[in-house]
Chains A and B, each alone.
Chain A
């Protein structure tokens, strides 16, 4: 059943609608069923979650008899952004994931954010699916604020991702959807995978398998599920960042999600005007490249890679 979570009139004959689809057991609800919510499309250039929303519902509908709880799917909480290939909220140039929990009396983005929070609250679990932006490729991973570690790591392990990153609390994260929900008692897992403006089907299938495993654990699904893979779990101190020291064109010479040794050649920053190498990038430590630059043009400071020691 499709429901409208938030609606705002646009100036000329159009409504902005944030919609969800609710799937329930075929014999209806008896009361007391748990609910899982799948949210994506916060950033209009992150599309990996679109396939997951489709695939999850396709599989549920094929075996609807196995559904024992409620599944709410929100494919686009920034629908204008997705439609116009805009990362933020068009018209405001605002990052939607920096305005939560929003405000009923605030501007249009804050009003929508407030309605979304109200609708998601009290879910047994929320999965907030992000791709990376257009600049970086990420392996499927769950990112967890250290403040929510005890509640979320056991749930995250079921999601069949390769990696769980428990990171420190940064003030900017306090205005995200996940932080707002976690601090008010709704467990919310942030998934990052793939790259912006693309859909990586194998990552989508991998995560969908994991969501079914989590649903089974929560009592929302009683069908067959996979045995989730054992993820690597790490904290900030084990992650090394490589940033560009020069601007130019980044040409990698390592593959994503591969092991490297300290001083291995990661890639070069090329100068197309002079035909010279502006900077040779080397691995600062032994480890796995779990984030790798996808978009070639870099400025001083652009993130090139993250390595998990």
Chain B
């Protein structure tokens, strides 16, 4: 294992921020794995730290294939993690909206540029990331529709779903998008948690990455190959919104099957405890996402459901 400082930011009031990359094996830049870009992405940090531990053992056993190398960057934003802030500690900008970065620009542009310079040439790019709304997902691989995406390759992770969505204007400054533009096969892996550690879904994600790298001939690792992934597109999911605000009492979990007409949640009046609204499944399906906040606004998309007759 080689530890490298990928980028260092000097500070007058704090210790310098050192972004560290851990490399395994010698040879071509085969795969790069990036964890937390936001300060609350604790699960993403945890997964990367576990992967580093496993790669260290694999390297020791000679199971990183000859001529291949893997790098893991557990976090590019330790300054925000250390003070419990999601975005950049001073100006609240999002490092994952700054790629490919600019080395003469503002602070987070420089961080993004310093990181990207070190990782843009990898053949495969894997990022553990999170959604801006607090909620739980079925573990899945997400790809953006850029024209360069590779759905069949994404199925090699063996996660239950491969999810593709259209790239929006603001996506063009994410790491995933820029990796693709620079020629990497890029994937974002979503697990069930962000600001807490969910060991079960973390283990699933770790296994998915190791399985993927094994299938690409980068490491030698015997593991369960996972699921035969199903491909779903963003527009095919059914969004179920709240019509009223209040206390959110959820009845359905991610990955559970729901029937049309079934009550999947209730919204309780926060003063009287009466049921202000019942959330009904509009169709048979599987819960792909649900919010996990106890207090919700009206107009909030509470669930995203995969219609069971719509799977490809």
Q: Write the residues of chain A forming the contact surface with B, with a CB cutoff of 8 angstroms.
A: 8-13, 16, 87-88, 91-94, 98, 105-108, 111, 133, 135, 171-172, 174-175, 241, 243, 246-249, 271-273, 278, 297, 299-303
Contacts and interface: CB of A to CB of B under 8 A. Distances in A.
A162 to B, nearest CB: 24
Given A11-B247, A174-B169, A111 B299 contact: yes
Given A171-B173, A247-B12, 17 more contacts: A8-B299, A11-B247, A11-B270, A12-B246, A12-B271, A16-B297, A88-B92, A93-B87, A107-B299, A108-B298, A172-B97, A172-B170, A243-B104, A246-B10, A248-B12, A273-B12, A297-B13
Given A11-B245, A11-B295, A300-B10, A175 B301 contact: no
Nearest to B87: A93
Contacts of A91: 297
Interface of B: 9-13, 86-87, 90-92, 97, 104-110, 132-133, 168-170, 172-173, 239, 241, 244-247, 270-271, 295-301
Contacts of B104: 241, 243
Contacts of A10: 245, 297
Contacts of B91: 133, 135, 302
B301 A299 contact: no
Given A107-B133, A300-B110, A11 B169 contact: no
The listed residue with most B CB atoms (<10 A of its CB), out of A11, A98, A249, is: A11
Contacts of A300: 9-10, 107, 110
| Interface pairs A-B: 9 shortest CB-CB | A9-B245, A174-B169, A9-B298, A11-B295, A301-B107, A171-B172, A301-B110, A111-B299, A299-B107
B270 A301 contact: no
Contacts of A94: 132
A272 B297 contact: no
A299 B111 CA distance: 12
15 contacts: A9-B244, A10-B245, A11-B247, A12-B245, A13-B270, A92-B133, A107-B133, A108-B300, A135-B91, A243-B104, A243-B106, A297-B13, A300-B110, A301-B107, A302-B90
